[in-house]
Structure 1
Amino acid sequence: MIQETTAAEVRAVDRQLDAYNRRDLEAFLSCYADSAELLVDGVVAASGKEALRAVYAEQFAGSRIRATVVDRIHAGDWVVDNERVGGDGMPSMAVLALYRVRDGLIDQVQFLGRRAADD
């Protein structure tokens, strides 16, 4: 069975990506569950929405970084994006982002394999 790209999980991830690119912290956080976890290369970097607020408030204040989806797959609760992240004169990076969406909110995001993008 082919899943439509407008699935609730995909829409939740798209909303947070749009808010990220606008650096709209409140809209960004509204896409996450109160107990959401952020993992970077398998290590918990933030646990809970207030911890996410601290991480992303600093990031949004300090740069005009943007993320672009290069490729995406969606299966069940998971949306997996191959993203390019860059801006403000920094070299772009390739990042594999795994988002788990439950009840319309992201409850876990994992970033893996951050490396310089092949431009």
Structure 2
Amino acid sequence: MPSRTSLSVVQAQLDAYNAKDIEALLETYAPDAEQYTLHGELLAKGHEQLRSRFLARFKETSLYAKLVSRIVVGNVVTDAELITRDFPEGLGTLEMLCIYEVVEGRIQKASFSLGQKTIHAPTQSAA
């Protein structure tokens, strides 16, 4: 059943992201996978570029993606997430819509749309 496989692949991707496990995360993506802004620019293509993007994000100690809702239609999985991040201006959250296309058991394409950003704790500047 395609949707069950697609669902398990995307869940494994989310689990690996939250564990900051780069190898497990890349295993969920096809070697030539592509990431885009929704209807827009290419963000990364292939494991080498994906690795760089993810490792840069993994440096944030507060990084965590909370699944808010999920819809599965065939081999496409759409997640609404609330991402906790260490922004330059302080700890905050970012709403994100993530659309994953799963082909042969791996994410082939992913598109992301950013929503509202909220800062919860301003960064203290040295005086």
TM-score normalised by structure 1 residue count: 0.87
Pairwise CA distance, 1:76: 1.2
Does residue 34 of structure 1 match 2:40? Answer: no
User: What amino acid is aligned across from residue 104 of structure 1 in structure 2?
Assistant: G
Question: Higher Cα Rg: structure 1 or 2?
Answer: 2
Match of 2:68 among 67, 70, 91: 70
Give me the CA root mean square deviation. Answer: 2.2
User: SS of 1:7's equivalent?
Assistant: helix
Matches of 1:40 and 1:90, distance apart in 2: 23
Structure 2 gaps of 5+ residues are: 119-127
Pairwise CA distance, 1:91: 1.3
Matches of 2:46 and 2:115, distance apart in 1: 23
What aligned pairs does 1:2-41 form with structure 2 within 5 A after superposition?
A: 7-41=4-38
TM-score normalised by structure 2 residue count: 0.82
* CA deviation vs aligned residue, 1:73-106 (integer Å, no higher than 9, x gap): 1101100011000044521111000000011100
Structure 1 gaps of 5+ residues are: none
8 Å Cα contact 2:94-2:114 kept in structure 1: no
Task: Work out the number of aligned pairs and report it.
Answer: 115
